[in-house]
Chain A
Amino acid sequence: MTPSTEVTWDEATTIRLDEARSIESDLSLTAGCGDGPRNFYLHGKISSPKGVESAKDIVIQVNFLDAAGEPCRDICDGLILSEEIGYFFYPLQVARAGRFERFFTLRAPVASVELKVIPWRAAARGSHVLDSLELQQAEAPFAFAEHFRQSSLPRNSLAWIAGQLRNRRGPGPVSLLDLSLGTPVPEAAATVLAGILQEGDRLEAARVDSTQSRLDHRVFVDGLELRSEILSELPGLVPGRYDLICLHTPGRGLNELADLMAADLTAIMAPGATVILAVPEAAPASGSFPWTLNDFEILGVVPIAGPDRPDATGNWVILRKAGIMARLPGLGAALYGGDYEKAALILEPEFTGSAPNPLLIEKIRPLSGKFAELAAGQAKQNHHDRAAISRLIAAELDPGNESLACEAMAALRVRNDLALTERLYDRVLKIHPNSWGVRLQGAFLYSMTGRGDRAIEILSDYVRSIRGTFNPSMRRTISTIMRSYAHECQRAGMETDNAQPLLVPEVAMAYNADHEKHAARWFASPLTDLLVHDARDRAHLRARARAAAPAPAASRRTRMLVLSAGSWRFIVKQLRYMEGQQTDFELRSYDFSFQEEEIRKKNLHEIFAPVSLDCPPAAVWAKACKEDGALKRLVEWADVIYCEWAGLPAIWLSRFLPPEKRLIVRLHSYEAFSQWPFFINWGGVDGMIFVADHIRRFADLQFRISDHPVATTVLPNFNDLSAYERPKKPGAERTVVMLGYNNRNKDPLMAVKVVEVLRRSDPSWRLKLVGHGWNPATMPPEEAAYHETFMAYIRDNGLEEMIEFTPFTHDVPGVLQEAGFMISCSWREGTHEAILEGMASGAVPVIRRWPMVSAYGAPETTYPELDYFDTAEEAAAEILGHAGTAAFAEASRRARDYVRARFTQDVVYPQFAEFVRKTIGSEVQ
């Protein structure tokens, strides 16, 4: 090995061999590196006067040395690695006309690089001449360049430019144009470009001043002035010729030049040219891109490296005109500056439109990860809408990434962007047809778009396919889709966003038109079968547990734990009565509100997914007890748990209470129109109390409670109605009262029409509407529309005088002293307590056949043996039938007697106590 003394190396650690050397023996060149760049471009020329015997005649060995001079292994990409000599390549193997080049990259810093040119075969010694050898180091300085490293980023500007030109042009010479504007030392760029020329290539340089000098291989166009700024008019420039145009413009801004290029340069560019401009510029200090590039896109930013530029601190900013990115103004600059949030905003229309441009996708594909990172950050800041778009972009850029696709679909779904979700789903499903992650996203999508049966089909397949255990995340998925399906079953093919679709009159009427069919749909689902099996299993378990449990002492009162999630209003009177009357029940209570909040936040999967999918009740109960000592103590104390409302707490208790505990649930009215009871484990319920028989029938139709061993009964609310027994005030016999009126369900407009009919014969009739008025600020659209109709009817018919609005008051008995007739015009009611209160006051009941529930026996089963109406005329006739003094007095007396006999708490309590006793069994007193 002969240490080279001819070699020079500069501060940029570039190794250069200037003079030709015959390769007689090993030639060694060394350069220090420190923590500098890690991308290397090695090129040179070998002449072989005797010809080349073998491409492996010559080896160039590249040693990377640490500070101690020891070779570093497993550190480089781009070279061959041999155990014997380390990293190397055969220059003659890659040479064209003797010129060779090699790129390589280090994965970690090294102290120095050593090159050895070795005649590998003995016969090769002295047969070859090394004309030149140069090792250049290059590092793209900006984040932007970093992102393109894996695709088109040049590792070295010269090599990259050369490669671009050759690739584009194919065999044959290329033409370069070097335009320098207003600079006295314009040679640098042209000199550098000259280094990549091969024989036959052409470089033209034009100057705007007179200081240009001639290089051997350049063709100058003398004496040019770029005054007109119309480049195509420059004499000597050939339209359509130039593959690369270099502007060296320290005196003028890039924006200005970009404008020029947009106007003129296309004329002189070669057809299909991709690279048209390389501009030496100082690096922006902040890494942000300071220029507006108009119609140009940035292809890369690389340092100017060249032997004639010892002060080469600038960069080539390499632009391309009219690329796909140029269609999106600001995108290049945003990406260049690493501002992906801005880039996402610019890209949003492209990606949310009909379909993103494939060329654009191809161009920015390597940035997929960056958009995924952006999305994660946005989601963390609760900017979920923005995150959804970023996820979409990330997924579209990397469709093979299943995880990105699923995240994007989920985010878009939450954003309610279902069309986009579906587009992405269709595309991704083709790539990952067997991915459960993707298919479940489809199930979510179907469940949100009225295709619940398809969603359930996917979900059922999924459940069947799982061989291991179901974790909470999987159960959450199942929960969401099942709950959505329950909603769809209740919608009866109608469209509504109402969480309780059956409360919408149009939906209810559609449902009732074929209620058997609609109710059957839920039970046709294989997942509903799981719920049914869960119920059977639990019923068996509880029967065994009950048989094994010791009977409570017969001498003590029944311990009843009353439970509600904060809504105690309808049971307060009952419990006050039971406590005050020293009944057979010892009472405790538990407010489930906090638990409910926690379940909603963390454990909804316990509520809506079948427990047989790895949600063992004993474990859930043990966990609850560990977190809530009060619940544990109270349930252990109780003989029976009485759950007020058939909502979330009822589901939880029916599933997870210790099996020996009895559970009675009271279903009021709204729950029957909700999805909650679909998920109650009926095997965990001993008794159901309904407030009205038509509610019981409707609930049974939907939830098939009677398929399970659940005792049911109908019991009115507890009412102390004695406070209402007051004398009527004058004028009451001509007053129709509606208590609670401010919504469409109560249909006060019908009451107006009833009184309007009454006034045709006697203008002293009036309507008194009592309660909270409408609040326009909080009304949903359908309520607002009803309110408008109501007010317009009154206004248009001049009925203001006959209607008295009375604000909400706690003194209902006082108000009812003015009530001669108590009217109920509702579409749907459970019991309509106001009617009871009115009758207790002596007001005559006037009750509509509540249309939404009349198919199930309302209101006759709740208020038997009364008159009912369907139209305003019928109601008016009914009222007039009781309007005479004697007739009114008699009807008023009958109303009071009716209520006393059926609805007072003294009447209701024995029925309640009897039901509880029977339900929980005879061993408890």
Chain B
Amino acid sequence: MNWIDETLAPARSGRRMRIFALHANRAVLGTTGGDMINEARFLTSLSQFADVYYNGILFQPDLPDYGLQERPIAVPQEKYDLYYVRANPEIFRQLPHPKIAMAYPYDEEVFRTADALVVTTEPWKRGLTPYAKTNQFSACMQHWYGESIHPPKAIINIKQTLNPHFIPEPSENELMEARLRLTMGPTLGYFGRIDSNTFPTIMLEAFKQLVEKYPAINLAVAGTVRIPLDPTILRLPRLPHEQMPALVSACAATVTDEGNDSLFLGSGKVLESMARGVPVIAYKSPARVEQLGEHYPLYYTTDHSCRQCIEQALFDKDVRAEARRHLAIRAQHFLPEARAREIQSAFEELVWVSRHGTDAEMAGQARAAP
């Protein structure tokens, strides 16, 4: 490689970026568990413009287990253009620059030394810039960050990436099988971990009122259940991830999280439903608006508005069509290619600045030259 290539950021040299990635102490990324699924999707996006080496092994989105193998977690000896680590401060501390980390969990040294922190939503980013009592976006994050944090150097909103696995139409048999799991009746689906922090309690109350009026409708849940569930809820066992697209498709609508975290965290459920064109009934929060847009028709904030949303999502063809139209538009923004383009731009800039300083700094250096 000549000095120009060495000096220029990879994209400017035409070379693919090489990124080292690591999530906690996991040598491989499984296909169950929200965190790992999201992580794999993010790395899939990165793979579109970069060679991603997860714990030193090339991440290959199309292979089983992404082509990863169990091997000891270790600080890489090879040189990469960028290092991305999530939830492993010990490794992070030993990495060279430029390096970035997920903005959670909080670790003062990570926040201090990272060239940038990664978040998945705009409300999250705004809550950290600055993180302060006077910043209304910070309030919902106090259980994560406490009283104060070390101010990050930069924050990149990578947003979440729509899982391409959800885009192809399921076969008729797959769809029918999913419908059979859902009683063949109109069903609201809530799929994912079920705990008290995220469970949509307003939605449940509204559903319980409506089920007396429409006995054929269901509120179905599938996933790890950590709280006692109301008996009106239709419970499904944990299903293989590959069956989820059909299950989402078989729903009349899906349901998203409520609660504090939903105010600033993204939702994979929303994107999956978006990919399948299935209306989402969403508790309105800044994070949800970022995903679904301000004018999406099926937001609720109260028991009453939730009931209305359910009835519209199940029985009002016009509202369903309008919701689907919004979803189709918003989906473009979260497609892996779209996400990859934005992330690539942000990462390349980060690498460039890391090597050369900001434009202002460069200008200063130029003036100082004899």
By a beta-carbon cutoff of 8 Å, the part of chain A in contact with chain B is: 562, 564, 566, 568-569, 571-573, 575-576, 579, 587-591, 593-594, 597, 626-630, 633-634, 637
Compute how far the CA of A562 lies from the CA of B234 in the bound complex, rounded to whole angstroms: 16
Chain B residues, CB < 8 A from A626 = 231
Chain B residues, CB < 8 A from A576 = 172-173, 176
Residue of B nearest to A586 (CB): B184
Given A562-B180, A575-B176, A589-B180, A594 and B236 contact (CB-CB distance below 8 Å): yes
Number of interface residues of B (CB under 8 A): 21
From A588, A591, A628, A637, B181 is in contact (CB under 8 Å) with: A591
Compute how far the CA of A591 lies from the CA of B176 in the bound complex, rounded to whole angstroms: 13
Q: State whether A587 touches B176 (Cβ < 8 A).
A: no
Cβ-closest 4 pairs across A and B? A589-B180, A591-B181, A593-B237, A629-B231
Compute how far the CA of A93 lies from the CA of B361 in the bound complex, rounded to whole angstroms: 106
Compute how far the CA of A575 lies from the CA of B175 in the bound complex, rounded to whole angstroms: 12
**Segment 211-268 of B: residues with Cβ below 8 Å from A:** 215-216, 218, 231-237
A539 CB to nearest B CB, Å = 29
Compute how far the CA of A637 lies from the CA of B214 in the bound complex, rounded to whole angstroms: 13
Q: State whether B183 touches A594 (Cβ < 8 A).
A: no
Compute how far the CA of A392 lies from the CA of B237 in the bound complex, rounded to whole angstroms: 38
Q: State whether A629 touches B232 (Cβ < 8 A).
A: yes
Contact with A along B182-223 (1 / 0, CB 8 A): 111100000000000000000000000000000110100000
Q: State whether A572 touches B184 (Cβ < 8 A).
A: no
Contact with A along B103-124 (1 / 0, CB 8 A): 0000000000000000000000
Compute how far the CA of A597 lies from the CA of B180 in the bound complex, rounded to whole angstroms: 18
By a beta-carbon cutoff of 8 Å, the part of chain B in contact with chain A is: 172-173, 176-177, 179-185, 215-216, 218, 231-237
Compute how far the CA of A594 lies from the CA of B176 in the bound complex, rounded to whole angstroms: 19
Chain A residues, CB < 8 A from B179 = 589
Given pairs A572-B176, A579-B184, A593-B237, 14 additional interface contacts (CB within 8 A): A566-B181, A566-B237, A571-B180, A572-B180, A573-B173, A588-B185, A589-B180, A589-B181, A589-B182, A590-B183, A591-B181, A626-B231, A628-B235, A629-B233
Chain B residues, CB < 8 A from A637 = 215
Compute how far the CA of A773 lies from the CA of B236 in the bound complex, rounded to whole angstroms: 32
Q: State whether B177 touches A572 (Cβ < 8 A).
A: yes
Q: State whether A630 touches B237 (Cβ < 8 A).
A: no
Compute how far the CA of A594 lies from the CA of B233 in the bound complex, rounded to whole angstroms: 12
Chain B residues, CB < 8 A from A634 = 183
Q: State whether A591 touches B236 (Cβ < 8 A).
A: yes
From A569, A575, A587, A594, B237 is in contact (CB under 8 Å) with: A594
Residue of A nearest to B232 (CB): A629
A-B contact pairs, 17 of them (CB 8 A): A562-B180, A566-B181, A568-B180, A569-B177, A572-B177, A579-B184, A588-B216, A589-B180, A589-B181, A591-B236, A593-B236, A597-B237, A627-B231, A630-B183, A633-B215, A634-B183, A637-B215
Q: State whether B231 touches A591 (Cβ < 8 A).
A: no
Residue of B nearest to A593 (CB): B237
Chain B residues, CB < 8 A from A575 = 176, 180
Chain B residues, CB < 8 A from A572 = 173, 176-177, 180
Compute how far the CA of A566 lies from the CA of B183 in the bound complex, rounded to whole angstroms: 12
Residue of B173, B177, B179, B218 most packed against chain A (CB within 10 A) = B177
Compute how far the CA of A714 lies from the CA of B176 in the bound complex, rounded to whole angstroms: 25
A727 CB to nearest B CB, Å = 25
Chain B residues, CB < 8 A from A633 = 215
Compute how far the CA of A868 lies from the CA of B185 in the bound complex, rounded to whole angstroms: 46
Chain B residues, CB < 8 A from A569 = 177
Q: State whether B183 touches A589 (Cβ < 8 A).
A: yes
Compute how far the CA of A573 lies from the CA of B231 in the bound complex, rounded to whole angstroms: 31
Residue of B nearest to A569 (CB): B177
Chain A residues, CB < 8 A from B177 = 568-569, 572
Residue of B nearest to A632 (CB): B231
B251 CB to nearest A CB, Å = 14
Q: State whether A587 touches B232 (Cβ < 8 A).
A: no
A777 CB to nearest B CB, Å = 13
B83 CB to nearest A CB, Å = 35
Q: State whether B172 touches A587 (Cβ < 8 A).
A: no
Residue of A nearest to B208 (CB): A629
Q: State whether B234 touches A630 (Cβ < 8 A).
A: yes
A693 CB to nearest B CB, Å = 27
Q: State whether A591 touches B232 (Cβ < 8 A).
A: no
Residue of B nearest to A562 (CB): B180
B334 CB to nearest A CB, Å = 29
B177 CB to nearest A CB, Å = 5
Q: State whether A594 touches B173 (Cβ < 8 A).
A: no
Compute how far the CA of A594 lies from the CA of B235 in the bound complex, rounded to whole angstroms: 7
Compute how far the CA of A568 lies from the CA of B236 in the bound complex, rounded to whole angstroms: 14
Residue of A nearest to B230 (CB): A629
A581 CB to nearest B CB, Å = 14
Given A593-B237, A594-B237, A564 and B232 contact (CB-CB distance below 8 Å): no
Chain A residues, CB < 8 A from B233 = 629-630
Compute how far the CA of A540 lies from the CA of B184 in the bound complex, rounded to whole angstroms: 33
Given A576-B172, A594-B237, A588 and B232 contact (CB-CB distance below 8 Å): no
B248 CB to nearest A CB, Å = 16
Compute how far the CA of A626 lies from the CA of B228 in the bound complex, rounded to whole angstroms: 13
Compute how far the CA of A573 lies from the CA of B171 in the bound complex, rounded to whole angstroms: 12
B174 CB to nearest A CB, Å = 9
Given A588-B185, A594-B237, A630 and B218 contact (CB-CB distance below 8 Å): yes
Compute how far the CA of A593 lies from the CA of B216 in the bound complex, rounded to whole angstroms: 20
Compute how far the CA of A564 lies from the CA of B218 in the bound complex, rounded to whole angstroms: 18
Residue of B nearest to A626 (CB): B231
Residue of A nearest to B172 (CB): A576
Compute how far the CA of A628 lies from the CA of B219 in the bound complex, rounded to whole angstroms: 12
Given A576-B172, A627-B231, A588 and B237 contact (CB-CB distance below 8 Å): no
Residue of B nearest to A564 (CB): B180
B169 CB to nearest A CB, Å = 14
Chain B residues, CB < 8 A from A594 = 235-237
Q: State whether A628 touches B231 (Cβ < 8 A).
A: yes
Q: State whether B215 touches A589 (Cβ < 8 A).
A: no
Chain B residues, CB < 8 A from A589 = 179-184
Chain B residues, CB < 8 A from A587 = 184
Compute how far the CA of A588 lies from the CA of B234 in the bound complex, rounded to whole angstroms: 14
Compute how far the CA of A627 lies from the CA of B233 in the bound complex, rounded to whole angstroms: 10
Chain B residues, CB < 8 A from A627 = 231
Compute how far the CA of A118 lies from the CA of B227 in the bound complex, rounded to whole angstroms: 73
Q: State whether B215 touches A591 (Cβ < 8 A).
A: no
Compute how far the CA of A568 lies from the CA of B234 in the bound complex, rounded to whole angstroms: 18
Residue of A nearest to B179 (CB): A589
A597 CB to nearest B CB, Å = 6
Q: State whether B181 touches A630 (Cβ < 8 A).
A: no
Compute how far the CA of A710 lies from the CA of B215 in the bound complex, rounded to whole angstroms: 32
Residue of B nearest to A634 (CB): B183
A269 CB to nearest B CB, Å = 58
A236 CB to nearest B CB, Å = 67
Chain B residues, CB < 8 A from A629 = 231-233
Chain B residues, CB < 8 A from A593 = 236-237
Q: State whether B173 touches A591 (Cβ < 8 A).
A: no
B46 CB to nearest A CB, Å = 32
Compute how far the CA of A249 lies from the CA of B179 in the bound complex, rounded to whole angstroms: 84
